[in-house]
Structure 1
């Protein structure tokens, strides 16, 4: 994708974004376009793409779609550009509670965990672990889990989802609260071959 074109639209809409993405809205197609400008938690491009796939599996109604890549002309870094459907948020009702998010995640097999941030148990960025797969879903606070108008439904729009594998950010965060270090994928494959 054309980097200058993306940045022009992004700047024209007020330079929206967060810790990772530069974001703009395309009203014609009803989608939010997000360009990764800063990887977080020591993630690789592969980790980022896995996160997008995990999001699609868990929350298909708000799944990301890979639109292409842009290349920074100075650094020559490759930056994925994804899009996500617009979600109308019901602002007439109270924000989604932690109990509602706990129920939503329990329905797909996740249990709440409290991660540590700067040495303190973090209660502000709700985190959930799927104990069988080792998937950690994080950042499920009331701006990322929202109410859909005229329904009882909730939508998850911008979580941080990652696999806990040896050496990953998710494994490190879980180890801080006493979870065992998971095997890496090559160890698991080697064990499987032994049988």
Structure 2
């Protein structure tokens, strides 16, 4: 069962499988070829990172993916890696600079993994924007209204029932899949009518995922 699931995820990562809002993300990821492993400890040289950024900006220009009109007056919140803006009553726009990842490709893999595991809050890649020298992805996500505080113990039980073991604090690991899932505190997992909604996740693929 787990091997079948891993094969399904591999197909999505490689662009051969389908996932909600996956096409644009898969296209951007496949354009960048800087290896497969997405461990948070992976080391990609600054030179490779700079070349990757140049390649990505070339791709953005070729595909006309630059977004210049963002309504900054609808600011909602921000974290270490992203800023959130209200798009309308049903969705939000998030600007992410990929700071949690050693490469943009790793970030795209994270989006695909999120969309696979949590399709109710799938990210839709709209394009990119640039502020000064920093590049940001622009993604759209359904807005989740909160009806009650999130019980972190319920998050733990839910993830453990799906094979993700709690390693420390709000971080998890699936030994069967070789996938790390981090930063699942109560601002990244919301609760509406007793149902958990994962709105911000940090996924990494370890070397064992590819074996």
Range of TM-score over shorter length: 0.5 to 0.7
Give the match's secondary structure for 1:5. coil
Q: Shift of residue 153 of structure 1?
A: 1.4
Of 90, 93, 102, which residue of structure 2 is paired with 1:43?
102
Q: Which runs of 5+ in 1 are unaligned?
A: 115-122, 166-181, 189-195
Instruction: Report the CA distance shift for 1:132/1:19 in structure 2 as closer, same or farther (over 3 A).
Output: same
Aligned-CA RMSD value: 2.2
Q: Shift of residue 42 of structure 1?
A: 4.3
Higher helix share: 2
Of 92, 95, 100, which residue of structure 2 is paired with 1:32?
92
**Mapped pair 1:162 → 2:162:** no
Of 63, 83, 88, which residue of structure 1 is paired with 2:140?
83
Please identify the structure whose Cα radius of gyration is greater. Answer: 1
CA distance in 1, matches of 2:185, 2:143: 18
Aligned pairs for 1:20-169 (under 5 A) are 20-27=81-88, 30-37=90-97, 39-72=98-131, 74-75=132-133, 78-91=135-148, 95-114=149-168, 123=169, 126-149=170-193, 152-165=194-207
How many residue pairs end up in the alignment?
Answer: 147
Q: Shift of residue 51 of structure 1?
A: 0.3
CA distance in 1, matches of 2:151, 2:101: 30
CA distance in 1, matches of 2:75, 2:93: 14
TM-score (norm 1): 0.67
Instruction: Report the CA distance shift for 1:78/1:13 in structure 2 as closer, same or farther (over 3 A).
Output: same
Larger relative contact order, structure 1 or 2 (CA cutoff 8 Å, min sep 6)? 2
Q: Which runs of 5+ in 2 are unaligned?
A: 1-64
TM-score (norm 2): 0.62
